[in-house]
């Protein structure tokens, strides 16, 4: 998958993850518990999702590429207003914490910027 992921056709179009634990994917509808490739449409807040395409673990590169092309076509991207999105998440009790430590907590609010 890596040559496809970093190739000209797909770079920047997908996020990739892997797991050896099926319980990590329990929030993804359409996950059948079998090893393989799953193209997932994330939910509104990224804490769940639905399977768009699933392929067996031994899928050949050409078939995987065709599936990824199809996934781009059927993916339903949602336009978001960041402020409203955050407000709605708070109302729905969704809390997100970054796994990567924030080293510049001042951001644009720092003095002198």
Report how far residue 54's alpha carbon sits from residue 44's, in angstroms, rounded to the nearest whole number: 21
**pTM over cut 0.85:** no
Distances (CA, A) of 21 to 25, 86, 104: 8, 30, 33
Give, for all 113 residues of the chain, the pLDDT tens digit.
Answer: 888 888 898 888 888 888 888 888 899 999 988 889 999 998 888 888 999 999 999 999 999 999 999 998 888 777 878 888 888 888 988 877 778 888 876 655 555 54
Task: Note the pLDDT of residue 110.
Answer: 53
The ranges assigned to domains in the chain are 2-94
The structure tokens listed for 27 are 């929030």
């Amino acid at each position: 998958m890596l040559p496809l992921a970093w190739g000209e056709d797909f770079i920047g179009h997908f996020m990739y993850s892997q797991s050896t634990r099926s319980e990590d994917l329990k929030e993804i509808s359409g996950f059948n518990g079998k090893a393989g490739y799953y193209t997932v449409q994330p939910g509104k807040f990224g804490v769940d999702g639905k399977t768009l395409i699933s392929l067996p673990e031994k899928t050949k590169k050409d078939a995987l590429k065709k599936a990824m092309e199809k996934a781009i076509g059927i993916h339903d991207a949602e336009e978001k207003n960041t402020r409203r999105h955050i407000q709605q998440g708070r109302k729905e009790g969704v809390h997100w914490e970054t796994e990567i430590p924030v080293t510049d907590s001042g951001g644009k609010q720092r003095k002198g910027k």
